Structure formats: structure tokens, C-alpha cells
Amino acid sequence: MGRKGEETRSRLLDATRELIESGGYFGAGLNQVVAASGAPRGSLYFHFPGGKDQLVGESVRRAGHEVGLVMRELAESAPDATALVTGVLTLLGDRLEASGWRRGCPVATVALEMAAVSDPLQEVCSEVYGSWEEALRHRLAVDGHPEPADTAVTVLALVEGALLLARAHRSREPLDRVARGVVALLRP
């Protein structure tokens, strides 16, 4: 595929990501994706012959990979797991607030709406969450936490819940409270 084809594919994925983050799976209709991306309708079917689920799945995977990269970078640069998690909360909170409380987690809405009815989308959501858990688990293990796998799941659930509450309340307060809770939870 040439440069122009990659650019068109990327625009379609970016538009889908924006739409699913703000309106969920059902808010990302193919007509809306085409309109938001500026791509011709035929390009949609050319690049995503599997239809909407393929488009959404690749968009979620791509967004999850981007968040995962940030998590791994923070895991390497942060002095400990607490700094990693508070850094992730700050980053995602900044992103959420800057979007007018529309862009929370790039995976959660699709997972809530589609995991029970679409095996391919459930698998993508599970894959992304698994990669985030692994980044947290690894850092917790390096820090010597006795139950890094259990703690990683707990922390990820706290982050996801904080994002949901922050979005619902249109306030950073849930994120700040969870950050304080994580500090207490991870304290040696």
C-alpha cells in the first residue's frame, strides 16, 4: 500500500477512535466515520473488508497501543509504581478534561457495549487491557510488591473507574482521589 493509502487508512482509524471515544460503538456509524475522516466511502471497504467490527477493533487496538507505549515509557522513567500510576492518571485526566469530558479510556466504551456480543471486539479489548496489566505488573514486580498480578488488576480497575466517574461528574476529583488511594495501596 502506498503513502496515500496509508494516510487514508490512518484518517479512517483516527476518525473512528474519536467517534467511539465520545459516542461509543453505536456513535461511530460508517457514515459518520466517512464524514469525519474525509475519506471516500469506497476506501472504507477497501481498507476494512471485515466491516465496522474490523474498523473499530483496529482503532481500539491502535489507541490501546498508544496508551500502552506511554505506560511503558512511564514505567521505565518513573521512580516507582506509584509515580507510574499517578502519571497515567494525570495524563488521562488531562486528555479527558481537554476534550470537554468526552475522551476517557479508548477501550472502555467498546468493552462495555460489545464484549458480550462480539467475540472479535471482546478479544481486542482483552488484548489491550492485558498489555496494560502486564506493564503495571512488571513495574510492581520490579518494585518488589508481593502480589504484582493481583495489584496490577486492582490498580487498572481503579484507573478505569476513576475515568468513568470523572467523565460522569465532569470533574478531576475522582482521579485525584484514586491517585491518593493508589499511593496508600502501593505504600511499602
Rounded-to-integer distance, Cα 49 and Cα 172, Å: 40
User: Mean pLDDT, 10 residues at a time, over the chain (188 residues)?
Assistant: 85 96 92 95 94 96 94 90 94 94 91 95 97 95 95 97 96 97 90
Distance between terminal CA atoms of the chain?
A: 51
- Are 17 and 63 contacting, i.e. CB atoms less than 8 angstroms apart? yes
Domains in the chain: ranges and CATH: 52-186 (1.10.357.10)
What residue spans of the chain are helical by DSSP H? 3-23, 30-37, 41-47, 52-77, 81-98, 108-114, 119-142, 148-169, 173-186
Q: What is the pLDDT of residue 1?
A: 63
* pTM greater than 0.85: yes
Q: What is the pLDDT of residue 2?
A: 76
Q: What is the pLDDT of residue 4?
A: 83
Q: What is the pLDDT of residue 36?
A: 96
Read off the C-alpha cell for 47.
481498507
